[in-house]
Chain A
Amino acid sequence: MISTSAPSKPILEVRDLRKEFQTNQGRLVAVAGVDFQIGESEIYGLVGESGSGKSTVGSVIVGMYPSNGGTVLFRGQDIDRPAAKRSRDLKRQIQMVFQDPGGSLNPRQTIRQILSLPLRLHCGLTGQALEAATADTIEKVGLSVSYLDKYPQVIGGGEKQLICIARALAPDPSFIVLDEPTSALDVSIQAKISNKLLELQEDLGLSYLFITHNLALVRNLTHRTAIMYLGQLCETATTEEFFAHPLHPYTQMLLASIPVMSEEEEAYKPTEVKSVGEIPNPIHRPSGCGFHTRCPFCMDRCRTVSPPVTEISPGHQVSCHLYGDSTRKEEAKCG
C-alpha cells in the first residue's frame, strides 16, 4: 500500500506550462496552462483520456520539444529546452519509459548493446566494468543475464518493457517519466511490472511521473494524482483523497465509467455523473471551461470564464466554478 507522506522539497516544478502545435487544420493547444509539483521520491500520477495533453506534458519534461510558455524547473534549474540543448548530467537524471515496448527497442541490436549505451554514455564504463554493470542492470529488474544476448523479437512484451525500465535505470537517474508503460500489456503482466516499478522506487528513492488513463492502476500505485482534460488540470490531490472525495465533474464522470470487478468495488465509484458526449476537437477548444460541453452542472459562467484553481483542503485543488468561491466550499462534498 502506498503511504501518503507529504512531499518534501519538489524535484520537479511545472508552472503555467503551455504547448501548442501547428497542424494543417489550425493551431492545436495541447497544454493550456498546467501547474503542479512532484516531490523527491514521490510517485505522481497524471491521468487523462486521449486529447488531454498528458503525454505532451511528459514530452516537454523529457525534452522532446520546448514549451510555448511557462516554466519547468528540475531541482530549481530551468530545463525548458529540447534534449539536444540540455547538459549531459540532466539527460542522465531524467529518463523515460514509453508505451510500446516493441517500438522502443532497436530490432537490430542485442539487449546487451541496448543496455550498454546509457552505461557507456553516462557512466563512461568500458570493458570489464561495463560488462559487470550491464549484468547488474538487467538483474535489477528481475531478468537473468541470459537475456543479454538475445534480440528483442524473441522476447515477450512484458519482458521487453522490463528491459526498457532497465535501460532507464542504468545511468542511475533521479526522475523517470513513464508514459502508459503498461497499457499495451495484459493484466497479469501489468501487475508484475507495476510491482517491479514500486520495488525499484522504494529501493532507489526515485521519483516517477506516471502517465496513464487507467485510474484503478493509479489508485494503487501513486502518492498523488492529477487529472487533465483538454490541456488543463482539473483536479489534484493525494491519491487517497482524490479517490475518496472526487470533486471535479470530469473526475466523477471518469470514475463512474470504469468497469469494476465486484459490487463492493462499485461502491467506490461516484454515481452522480453519467458519461455523456465526447471530447471536443482540441483545435476548436470550447470557450471558458473546456469541460462545459459535457458537464451536467454547467452554469452560464462556465461557458465564458476559465475556472480558477481553488484549494479545498490542504493538497487538494480543483479547477471548477462549482468550487470557485468560499460559499460553495461547504457544498463541496461528493462521492
Chain B
Amino acid sequence: MRHKRDNRSRPRWEKFKRQWHKFASNRLSLLGMGVVVLLIVLAIFAGKIAPYPDHAGLYLDFQNANQPPSWKHFAGTDGCGRDIFSRMLFGLRVSLEIGLLVLAISVPIGVLLGLVAGYRRNTWLDTAIMRFTDLFMAVPPLVLALVVVAMFTPGFFFAAIGIAVAWWPWYTRLTYSLVTSLSNEMYVRYTELTGAPLRHIILKEILPNAVSPIFTKMSLDMGMIIIIASSMSFVGLGVQPPAPSLGSMVSDGIKYLPEFWWISVFPALFIVLIVLGFNLLGDGLRDVFAIEEI
C-alpha cells in the first residue's frame, strides 16, 4: 500500500523538480522569491523582531521626536517619537494582510464568474456576466475603492472590501479568455462527448489548466494592491491611525521634508521593495508556467 502511494506522488514530484529548476535558473526570480519570503517572515514575527513593538500603537515621546537614523533607531523616529523601523514592520504586516484579504475575496468571485461565463459562451448568461464585469472595469480601481470606503467607515476592513470590489473583474476577464480557449481542446471535447458532468469538466479538466496564469497574476497583483492600499491610507481613507500603515507613514512625513527626510523616505522605499519582490516572483512564475507545455 505504501509503495503504491509513493508511486503515485512520484510524477508530481518530478514535475515540481523540473519547474523549480527552471525557476531557479533565473537569478531575478530567485531574488524576488527571497525578498517575498523575507517579508513574510518579518511580517509574521513583527512583534518579536521589532525593537520597539509598542511604538506601533498609541505612543508619545516628544523628547525623542524626529531623531535621524541611528543604531538605536534604524530608520529614525517620527513626529511623535515613535520608532519608524518598528512601525514599518507592523505596517508591512498590515499591507500583506490587506493584499491577502483582497485576493481572498476577489479571486474566487472573479474566477467563478469567469468560469461560468466562459463555459457557457454565447448564451445570455455569458453576456449578462461579462457586461456586468465591463461595468465595474469602466471605473478606475482607486476611485471605485475610495467610493466604497466612503460609503462605510474608513478602516482596514472596508479598505480591503473596496479594493476587492474593484479587483474581481480582472480575474473574470482572465479566466473567461482562458476557459474559452481551453474549451476547444480535444481532451475537453472528449469529456463532453463521453458525458462527464459539468462539475467534472469545469473543475477537473478546465480549471487545472487555467490555474497557472491565474496564480501568476495573483503574485503580480500583490504589489499593485499594496500600492492602492497605501494610496488610500495616504489620503486618509485606508487604515486609520494610530495603526501603522506604510502609506499614511509616507503622507505624515511629507510635511517634514526635506529636513527630516527619513520619516517619508524609509516607508516609501519599503513599499518599493515589497512591490519589486512580488513582481519579480510573479515574472518568474510566469516564465516557468509558460514554457512548461512542451
Chain A residues with a Cβ under 8 A of chain B? 62-64, 83-84, 86, 88, 91-92, 95-96, 98, 100, 103-110, 112-114, 117-118, 121-122, 149-151, 153-154, 167, 171
B211 (CB) vs chain A CBs: closest residue: A108
Q: Which residues of B contact A110 (CB under 8 A)?
A: 8, 11
- How far apart are the CA atoms of A100 and B7 in the complex, in Å? 28
Query: When the two chains form their complex, are residues A149 and B8 in contact, meaning their CB atoms are under 8 A apart?
Result: yes
Beta-carbon contact of A96 and B185 below 8 Å? no
A100/B186 in contact, CB under 8 A: yes
Partner of A118, one of B188, B189, B194, B205: B194
Contact between A83 and B10, CB atoms less than 8 A apart: no
Answer yes or no: B177 CB below 8 A from chain A CBs.
no
Give the number of residue pairs across the A-B interface with Cβ within 8 Å.
68
Judging by beta carbons under 8 Å apart, are A63 and B193 in contact? yes
Nearest chain B CB to A97 CB, angstrom units: 9
Residues of A within 8 A of B196 (CB): 117, 121
Q: Which residues of A contact B191 (CB under 8 A)?
A: 117
Q: In the assembled complex, how far is the CB of residue B162 from the closest CB belonging to chain A, in whole angstroms? A: 35
Report the bound CA distance from A36 to B7 in whole Å: 48
State whether A149 touches B11 (Cβ < 8 A). Answer: yes
Q: How far, in whole Å, are A325 and B205 apart by their CA atoms in the complex? A: 55
Residue interface bits B208-236, CB-to-A below 8 A is 1, else 0: 11000000000000000000000000000
**Residues of A close to B293: CB separation below 8 A:** 107, 153
Cα distance A86–B193 in the bound complex, in angstroms:
9
Can you list 9 A-B pairs with a CB-CB distance of less than 8 A?
Answer: A64-B189, A83-B193, A103-B185, A104-B187, A106-B185, A108-B209, A112-B8, A122-B195, A153-B293
Which one, B10, B194, B294, contacts A117 given CB within 8 A? Answer: B194
The CB with the most chain A CB atoms within 10 A, among B11, B188, B193, is that of: B193
A62-B193, A117-B194 known; A149 vs B10 contact (CB < 8 Å): yes
For B185, what are the chain A residues with a Cβ–Cβ distance below 8 Å?
A: 103, 106
Q: Taking CB as reference atom, which chain B residue is nearest A164?
A: B190
Instruction: Tell me whether B194 and A103 are in contact (CB under 8 A).
Output: no
- For residue A260, give the distance in angstroms from its CB to the closest CB of chain B: 32
Q: Does B255 contact A (CB under 8 A)?
A: no
Interface pair A83/B209, CB less than 8 Å apart: no
Report if A64-B193 is in contact (Cβ < 8 Å); known contacts: A108-B209, A149-B10, A151-B15: yes
Give the chain A neighbours of B192 by CB distance below 8 A.
83-84
A105–B193 Cα distance when bound, in Å, is 14
Task: Compute how far the CA of A80 lies from the CA of B260 in the bound complex, rounded to whole angstroms.
Answer: 80
Among residues 1 to 34 in chain B, which have CB atoms less than 8 Å away from a CB atom of chain A? 7-8, 10-11, 15
Decide: B195 and A91 in contact? CB cutoff 8 A. Answer: yes
Query: Quick one: given A96-B190, A117-B191, A121-B194, are A107 and B209 in contact (CB under 8 Å)?
Result: yes
Contacts of A103 in B (CB 8 A): 185-187
Inter-chain contacts of B15 with A (CB < 8 A): 151
In the complex, A95 Cα to B189 Cα: how many Å? 12
Task: Report the separation of the CA atoms of residues A103 and B209 in the bound assembly, to the nearest whole angstrom.
Answer: 13
Closest to B197 in A: A121
User: Shortest distance in angstroms between A329's beta carbon and chain B's nearest beta carbon?
Assistant: 43
Least CB distance from A291 to B in Å reads 31
Taking A62-B193, A114-B187, A153-B294 as known contacts, 6 extra A-B pairs with beta carbons closer than 8 A to each other, sorted by chain A number, are A91-B193, A96-B193, A103-B187, A106-B208, A117-B191, A121-B195
Question: In angstroms, how far is the closest chain A Cβ from the Cβ of B185?
Answer: 6
* Residue with the greatest number of chain A CB neighbours at <10 A, chosen from B8, B186, B195, B205: B195
Q: Are A108 and B208 in contact (CB under 8 A)?
A: yes
A62 proximity list for chain B (CB < 8 A):
193
The CA-CA distance from A121 to B195 in the complex, in Å, is 8
Task: Tell me if B187 and A106 are in contact (CB < 8 A).
Answer: yes
C-alpha spacing A149/B12, complex, angstroms: 9
How distant is the Cα of A187 from the Cα of B209 in the complex, in angstroms?
32
Q: Are A98 and B195 in contact (CB under 8 A)?
A: no
A131 to chain B, nearest CB (A): 9
Q: Separation in Å of the A45 CB from the closest CB of chain B?
A: 22
Tell me which of B11, B15, B204, B205 has the highest count of chain A C-beta atoms within 10 A of its own C-beta.
Answer: B11
Expressed in whole angstroms, the minimum distance between the Cβ of A157 and any Cβ of chain B is: 13
Contact of B7 among A63, A149, A151 (CB under 8 A): A149
Whether the Cβ atoms of A106 and B195 lie closer than 8 Å is no
A121 to B191, CA, bound (A): 10
Measured between beta carbons, the chain B residues less than 8 angstroms from A118 are: 194
Complexed CA–CA distance, A2 and B196 (Å): 36
CA distance A113 to B209 in the complex (A): 15
Closest 5 A-B residue pairs measured CB to CB?
A108-B208, A91-B195, A103-B186, A106-B187, A104-B186
B96 CB to nearest chain A CB (Å): 30
Minimum distance in angstroms from B39 CB to a CB of chain A: 31
Which of B188, B194, B209 counts the most chain A CB atoms within 10 A?
Answer: B194
Q: Distance (Å) between the CB of B288 and the closest chain A CB?
A: 15
A299 to B193, CA, bound (A): 44
Question: Contacts A108-B208, A151-B15 hold; do A98 and B193 have CB atoms under 8 A apart?
Answer: no
Contact of A104 among B8, B190, B195, B294 (CB under 8 A): B190
Interfacial chain B residues near A63, Cβ < 8 Å: 193
A122 to B193, CA, bound (A): 13
Residues of A within 8 A of B294 (CB): 153
Say yes or no: A98 contacts B186, CB within 8 Å.
yes
Which of these, A86, A88, A98, A150, contacts B11 with CB under 8 Å?
A150
B209 contact set on A, CB distance < 8 A: 106-108
Are B195 and A105 in contact (CB-based, < 8 A)? no
Cβ of A154: which chain B residues have Cβ within 8 Å of it?
Answer: 11
With both chains docked as a complex, state the minimum distance between the C-beta of B184 and any C-beta of chain A, in angstroms: 9
